[in-house]
Amino acid sequence: GAVVSQHPSWVICKSGTSVKIECRSLDFQATTMFWYRQFPKQSLMLMATSNEGSKATYEQGVEKDKFLINHASLTLSTLTVTSAHPEDSSFYICSAVRDRGPRGNQPQHFGDGTRLSIL
């Protein structure tokens, strides 16, 4: 199967702390990964597209200096929330895509998510 591991599952920390979240594709290589944020009772909001070996592409309204993305290998992308504040509290979810197959676009496979609470 296509397994994506996300760590940590829960983070509770003080305002001003920087938090790093890891996303790993365990049994496939992923040139592209995505980072989403989800607030209660809302749908997924795409934050950025993470590309191995190049800069991430951020969605409109997402601060790239606040949400640092690094995709240094074909199996690992990290999201760092810098100087986190209570309004950054949310459910952060990553996804990974296997390289394009014969049918065209491959589905995104999601990690289990990270629940971030900033006090």
Of 34, 4, 9, whose CA–CA distance to 19 is shortest? 9
Shortest gap between Cβ of 83 and another protein (angstroms)?
Answer: 26
Query: Per rule CB under 8 A, is residue 44 in the interface with another protein?
Result: yes
Check the CA dihedral 82-43-61-98 and report its sign.
positive
Whichever of 10 and 14 has its CB closer to another protein, that residue is: 10
Residue 65 per-residue DSSP state: T
Query: Which of 19, 21, 23, 34 is in the footprint of another protein by CB under 8 A?
Result: 34
What are the tokens at 15?
Answer: 């305002």
Query: Per rule CB under 8 A, is residue 32 in the interface with another protein?
Result: yes
3-state secondary structure of 96: strand
Shortest gap between Cβ of 117 and another protein (angstroms)?
Answer: 13
Query: Per rule CB under 8 A, is residue 97 in the interface with another protein?
Result: yes
Query: Per rule CB under 8 A, is residue 60 in the interface with another protein?
Result: no
Query: Which of 14, 43, 60, 86 is in the footprint of another protein by CB under 8 A?
Result: 43
Query: Per rule CB under 8 A, is residue 116 in the interface with another protein?
Result: no
Three-class HEC string of 1-33:
CCCEEEECCEEEECCCCCEEEEEEECCCCCCEE
Whichever of 58 and 82 has its CB closer to another protein, that residue is: 58
